């Protein structure tokens, strides 16, 4: 059995400012296997960045700890930093430098030799598709190009673990898809473990092997997207009838077949959530037909990770994100750092 690349145990962070304290992360314990791609999901202020910052040694935990790439984050932070790449929520890079020079400086920062830095910069420029802007300055890049540069910066010292905090936020759908292709390629090419946060549920759903959901500083779910959806959400089944009398008559039958509570969404519509809507629908339609009740419309919509979050918390992730302003938002911005920045 191989040692996990991240072993976090009881990670806790409490921020105190004057009389206010914020329990940003509380008692978080998890392992990440080498080579995996893990997405960290959760609304604004859930504690995702704080967790990543503790794991990358940028801020010390209040209690608990972690071993990352085989080293203790408190006892051997330099060992950890030398072996991980971190790309923070903000954009890194000094504006006037050319892309290639920026990469080479980053290599120097990590103590990579000059010749190797140049080789690595050229390799990353190619694999992250930055070749056509290699001689441009950072300020001349688009948002998507900058984000790709950020990732290249985090990879200059060939880390075995890459931590990305919202790599795709603010990018258009095309750039997001592009960036993801690059992340997947890097993984394939170098076997890099990728631990990232995202607000895009579809990204977590499609690309991550494992989804960790965080809320209020705690991990509230941790599994593959498919397993989370199957166990926590289920297909949203909706049946429409020609008359309220038909809907009334169908209710008990549908509840019996579904083995679930059925909701009267409106006078003519019944809805329920089941694990296997595809199989249930034809059975329900046949059964109701045999009772002389015609189903006029039927839909079965597979769940999303938002339905998972809703099932777990009673809130939709979108509503949670649009909720109250984050009290630590200002402090948060000042903590956004580039790879290897001292805490
Ligand atoms: N330096 C700080 N001082 C005080 N509070 C902070 C600080 N950094 C973060 N917090 C607070 O800790 C909580 C968790 O913040 P964190 O940045 O980890 O959330 P997040 O899940 O990354 O959110 P987002 O999706 O908005 O990036 C928030 O309530 C935030 O305001
Ligand atoms: Mg964050």
The ligand 1 atom nearest the CA atom of 46: 21
Q: Is the CB of 42 under 6 A from ligand 1?
A: yes
**What's the rounded Cα separation, in Å, for the pair 93 and 167?**
15
Query: Nearest C-alpha to atom 27 of ligand 1 is from which residue?
Result: 44
Q: Which residues of 202-219 are buried (b: 16+ CB within 10 A; e: fewer)?
A: ebbbebbebbbbbbbbeb
Both structure tokens of 151 = 């990732």
Contacts of 287 (CB under 8 A, 6+ apart): 253, 257
Q: Is the CB of 45 under 6 A from ligand 1?
A: yes
Both structure tokens of 259 = 């083995």
Q: Is the CB of 326 under 6 A from ligand 1?
A: yes
Q: Is the CB of 61 under 6 A from ligand 1?
A: no
Cα–Cα distances in Å, from 10 out to 63, 84, 217? 7, 21, 12
**Does the pTM of the predicted model rise above 0.85?**
no
Q: Which domains does the chain have, with CATH numbers?
A: 6-229+320-342 (3.40.50.300), 234-302 (3.30.70)
**What's the rounded Cα separation, in Å, for the pair 152 and 158?**
10
Distance 103 CA to ligand 2 centre (A): 25
CA-based torsion, 13, 17, 18, 19: positive or negative: negative
Q: Is the CB of 335 under 6 A from ligand 1?
A: yes
**What's the rounded Cα separation, in Å, for the pair 208 and 167?**
14
Closest listed ligand to the CA of 55? 1
Instruction: For the chain, 343 residues long, give each residue's pLDDT as a single digit of tens.
Output: 678 999 999 999 999 988 899 999 999 999 999 999 999 999 999 999 999 999 999 999 999 999 999 999 999 999 999 899 988 887 555 667 888 988 998 888 888 899 999 999 998 888 788 888 878 888 888 888 888 888 888 888 889 999 999 988 877 888 788 888 888 988 888 889 999 999 899 999 999 999 999 999 999 999 999 999 988 888 999 999 999 999 999 999 999 999 989 999 999 999 998 888 889 999 999 999 999 999 999 999 999 999 999 889 988 887 777 654 444 443 333 222 333 333 3
182 and 124 in contact (C-beta within 8 Å)?
A: no
């Amino acid at each position: 059995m191989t040692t996990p690349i991240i072993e976090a145990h009881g990670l806790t962070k409490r921020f105190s400012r004057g009389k206010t304290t914020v329990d940003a992360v509380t008692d978080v314990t998890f392992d990440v296997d080498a080579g995996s791609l893990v997405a960290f999901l959760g609304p604004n202020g859930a504690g995702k960045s704080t967790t990543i910052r503790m794991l990358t040694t940028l801020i010390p935990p209040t209690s608990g700890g972690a071993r990352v790439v085989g080293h203790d984050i408190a006892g051997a932070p330099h060992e950890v930093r030398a072996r991980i790449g971190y790309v923070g929520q903000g954009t890194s890079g000094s504006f006037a430098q050319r892309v290639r020079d920026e990469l080479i400086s980053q290599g120097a920062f990590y103590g990579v030799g000059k010749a190797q830095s140049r080789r690595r910069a050229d390799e990353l420029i190619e694999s992250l598709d930055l070749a056509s802007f290699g001689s441009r300055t950072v300020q001349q890049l688009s948002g998507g190009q900058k984000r790709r540069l950020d990732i290249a910066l985090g990879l200059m010292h060939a880390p075995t673990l890459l931590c990305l905090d919202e790599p795709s936020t603010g990018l258009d759908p095309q750039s997001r898809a592009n960036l993801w292709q690059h992340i997947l390629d890097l993984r394939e090419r170098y076997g890099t473990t990728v631990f990232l946060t995202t607000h895009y549920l579809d990204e977590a759903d499609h690309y991550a092997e494992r989804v960790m959901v965080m809320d209020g500083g705690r991990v509230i779910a941790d599994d593959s997207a498919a397993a989370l959806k199957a166990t926590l959400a289920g297909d949203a089944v909706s049946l429409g009838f020609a008359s309220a009398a038909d809907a009334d008559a169908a209710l008990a039958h549908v509840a019996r077949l579904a083995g679930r509570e059925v909701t009267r969404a409106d006078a003519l519509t019944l809805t329920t959530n089941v694990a296997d809507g595809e199989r249930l629908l034809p059975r329900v339609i046949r059964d109701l037909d045999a009772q002389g009740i015609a189903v006029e419309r039927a839909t079965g919509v597979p769940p999303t990770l938002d339905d998972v979050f809703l099932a777990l918390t009673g809130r939709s992730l979108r509503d949670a994100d649009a909720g109250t302003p984050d009290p630590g938002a200002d402090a948060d911005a000042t903590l956004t750092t580039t790879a290897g920045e001292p805490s």
